[in-house]
Amino acid sequence: MWAPPRPSTSFGVRTLGPEDLPAALALLHLAPVDNLYVAARVRSGGLDRITLGCPVWGYEVGGELRSMLHAGSNMVPVNADDRACAAFAAFAGFQRFASSIIGPSEAAMGLYHELVDRWGGPWAEARDIRAHQPVMLIDHEPDIAADPRVRQVTLAQWDAYADAAVAMYTEEVGQSPAVNGSDVSYRVYIRSLIQQGRSYAIVEDGRVIFKADIGSATSTRCQVQGVWVAPSHRGRGIAAPAMAAVISQARQQWPVVTLYVNDFNAPALATYRRAGMRQVGEFATVLY
């Protein structure tokens, strides 16, 4: 549940509106890879909290927009230094509304520590902290041959693909995507990705053995998420060629393909590097 907008400009922070869009886009453009998630949302939904689904807060110095915070279930800082993180934490208040804090490692962890130091309580009750997540990028064709079995998923494959997506989410996040005992909303989200042509898979005998999605995207960049190989097919060397296929197909629309991965996931890191991706930064994720 997102926090209600605040009219006060205390702490140098205020809720941004449609009139702030040019300044917001200019700020997002300063780090297009780091800011891909927020940039994709703002370009699609603007800065109207109803359209976007949550407010975006701005931190100003001398009337100039210096940083922003996507203040939704995903709390995502943009160009946030120590002062901005402290201001956003003060503005956020005691009641936690986010289910995660995600972003460039220094800013995301800085914001988390500011929230905990100032408010404690619900903000301190993180169930998992992943402080080091390499951000990977490729802006050329993969270094290895692509697996020709990888195809865009069709709606006819929705049920099987959604089953694989739920399994991936549960394994990656550590809990089911079910809300109030039902994963219907997550399955609807997966259906929307399929309808947009953003889901790729190897499907054999009606079963998904590899999957990957395009989550966020702007005009030239996209972020891959939800990469997963069925447990029964791990260790067979299919991940890297399959990932190469995803990259090659995605680059037909988005020349730059990115993702971020947990630093402790050595097989995934090896897969992405083998496909030709290189590290260009580091994210952190705090999960509640």
pTM: 0.92
Supply the angle between the helices 105-119 and 82-92 in degrees, to the nearest 10.
40
The CA-atom distances, in angstroms, between 151 and each of 17, 38, 221 are 40, 28, 20
Please tell me the predicted confidence (pLDDT) of residue 3. 45
Task: Give the percent of the chain with pLDDT over 90.
Answer: 92
Q: Is the pLDDT of residue 9 over 50?
A: no
Please tell me the predicted confidence (pLDDT) of residue 40. 97
The pairing of strands 221-229 and 256-260 is parallel
pLDDT single digits (tens) 20-52:
999 999 999 999 999 999 999 999 999 999 999
Mean pLDDT value of segment 40-65? 95
pLDDT single digits (tens) 124-141:
999 999 999 999 999 999
The CA-atom distances, in angstroms, between 123 and each of 94, 111, 112, 213, 252 are 8, 10, 8, 30, 41
Name all domains of the chain by residue range, CATH numbers in brackets: 10-126 (3.40.630), 138-281 (3.40.630.30)
pLDDT single digits (tens) 97-112:
999 999 999 999 999 9
